[in-house]
Amino acid sequence: MQKVVSSNLITRSIFLPLSDSRLKLFRCALALATCVFLTLALRPGMSQPVDSLPHMDKLEHFGAFVLFAFLAQGAFPKLPTWVKIGVLAAIGLGVELGQMAVPHRHFSVGDLLANCAGIGVFFAARGWRKQISGEK
């Protein structure tokens, strides 16, 4: 396998050798979760949504993006946090914009805020845990 040599931190983070099975696992899980989420988010909706709990949709968005943040952190541990946050937020925005083209779906600021809240809570909790444990 040819080793990627670059002085660019982002390039080095993305093209890490995949010899580490943990990285492979996280990257595969991230790809699978992304496919599942996009399939569910961009399928035509029902004209009358049926939610068992009020604001269940927001909880689902929040939970999905906590999971995405966890998987992104595990898949690309050397990538700067701000890059991961930006990419995940852009994915959330892209999904909401994509829903405008799907029947019985619409752009929701509430869903976008829930996506960003999930991302923010994960990285804030991670930062807090690192601060308590004294990690750098």
Ordered by start, the domain boundaries in the chain are 18-44+51-133
Q: Per residue in 78-119, pLDDT tens?
A: 999 999 999 999 999 999 999 999 988 889 999 999 999 999
Q: Is 103 within 8 Å of 45 (Cβ atoms)?
A: yes
- At 14 the pLDDT is 54
For the stretch 34-43, pLDDT in tens is 999 999 888 8
Average pLDDT over residues 61-69: 96
Are the CB atoms for 78 and 13 separated by under 8 Å?
yes
What sign does the dihedral 38-39-43-49 (CA atoms) show?
negative
CB 99 within 8 A of CB 42: yes
* pTM for the whole structure: 0.78
**Cα 127 to Cα 66, 70, 120, distances in angstroms:** 14, 13, 10
